[in-house]
Structure 1
Amino acid sequence: MLPLILPLLFQVTPVAPIIKGTALPPPDADTAAVLAPVERMFAGLAAHDAQAIRAELRPEGGATVAIEQPDGTRTIRHLSWDEFTAGIKPGAEAFEERFTGPPAVEIDGDIAMVWGPYTFLLDGKPHHCGVDHFDLIHDAGQWKVLNVTWSQRTTGCEAA
C-alpha cells in the first residue's frame, strides 16, 4: 500500500519558470526613486556635465562596457569613474541616451538593479545601442549608482 501512497504525497504540480525581468514590480514610488539617479545621469550626459553624473555615483564603483564590432569581434573594458567621466566634456554635439522601453527594476532592501535596452543618439541619430545595467545602493536615504555595465553595438540600432 505504501508504494501506492508515496507518489501521491510527493506529487509536484509543474509550474512554468518566471521569465527573466518579469518579477512583480515594486511600488511606483520605489521604482521612481531607483530610476531617478539613472535619469539624472542621462541628463548629465545630455548636458555634457561630468560633475552632475559623478553626483549620482558611489566612489568605489565603476563602469564596464562590452563592445561588439560590426565584424563580430568583442572587447570588454572596465573603467574607473574618473575614466568614465573623463570623456564627458563641453561640446557642440547633442548626446542623448534613453531606454527604448520600460527598464526592469528590481529592489531588495538597500540594493537595486535597473536593466533595459537603450539607444545612444548623437545629434539626433542612433550612434550605438545595447543594454544598460545599473547596480544601485541605498545609503543615507539616497540611491546611488555603484556600477554601470552596458553592451554596445552599432548595428540594429533604432531611434527610441
Structure 2
Amino acid sequence: MRPLAALALACTLCLSTPVHPADAPNHDADVAAINKIVAQFKTAVIAHDGKTLGSLFLQDHDSWLEVADAKTWADVKTRHPDAPKVMHSSWKQFANDVQAGSKPIEERFYNVRIETNGAVASVWFDFDFLADGKLNNRGSESWQLVRAEDGWKISSMLYSIGR
C-alpha cells in the first residue's frame, strides 16, 4: 500500500471510531486522581504550602490567565485606564504569594466538573477566594491537565475575576 493511502486509511479509521471519556479504560481512576489534585490544591492554599502547590503543575509550562468580568472590568478601567483586561501571571508567582502570605486564605470550589480521556483532562468550577476570612474575589476557573510521566499535572489555568 502506498504511504499516502495508508495514512488516509489510518485517519479514516481513527475518525470513524470516536472515543468518549467514559470509554477510557481507567476513567474512574483518572477522575479520582484528578479530584485528588483539586483537594491537594485547596489544602495547599489554606496551609500556605507553595511547595505542594508547585508540585501540582507541569514544571516546564506556565499558562495562567486572569480575565475580569464586565462589572469588575468597568471598575478597574475607571481607576486604571491602561490596565489590560486579560492579565498574565504564573503558577510560580501564585505559589510564591501563597507561601509568603501571612493572612489566612482559602479558595472554595463549587460545581466541579471533570472531563478526561485518560491523556488530557479539563476541570471547570466556580470559586470564591477568601483572604483573612473575607471574600476577595469570585468567578469561574478552568484547568487543563495532562497525564505526565509522574501522574496528572496542571498545564494551564484560566479564570474570571468578579466581586
Do the structures match in fold with TM over 0.5? yes
The equivalent residue for 2:98 is: 88
| Unmatched tracts of structure 1, length 5 or more | 1-22, 155-160
Between structures 1 and 2, the one with greater helix share: 2
Give the TM-score of the pair, scaled to structure 2.
0.69
Identity score, percent: 25
Between structures 1 and 2, the one with greater strand share: 1
Q: Deviations over 1:116-151 (max 9, x none)?
A: 111111222322100110100012251111011111
Q: Deviations over 1:32-64 (max 9, x none)?
A: 211222221221111112111101110212311
Q: Given the alignment, which residue of 109, 131, 138 partners 1:99?
A: 109
Q: Which secondary structure state, in structure 2, belongs to the residue aligned with residue 45 of structure 1?
A: helix
The equivalent residue for 2:151 is: 142
State the Cα RMSD in Å. 2.4
Identify the range of structure 1 (145-154 vs 61-70) with the bigger mean alpha-carbon deviation: 61-70
Residues paired across the two proteins, number: 131
| Unmatched tracts of structure 2, length 5 or more | 1-20, 78-83
Q: 1:99 to 1:77 in 2, by over 3 A?
A: same
CA distance in 2, matches of 1:96, 1:117: 14
Q: Which secondary structure state, in structure 2, belongs to the residue aligned with residue 92 of structure 1?
A: coil
Q: Given the alignment, which residue of 88, 91, 96 partners 1:78?
A: 88
Give the TM-score of the pair, scaled to structure 1.
0.70
CA distance in 1, matches of 2:67, 2:158: 8
The answer to whether residue 44 in structure 2 is matched with residue 44 in structure 1 is yes
Rg bigger for which structure? 1
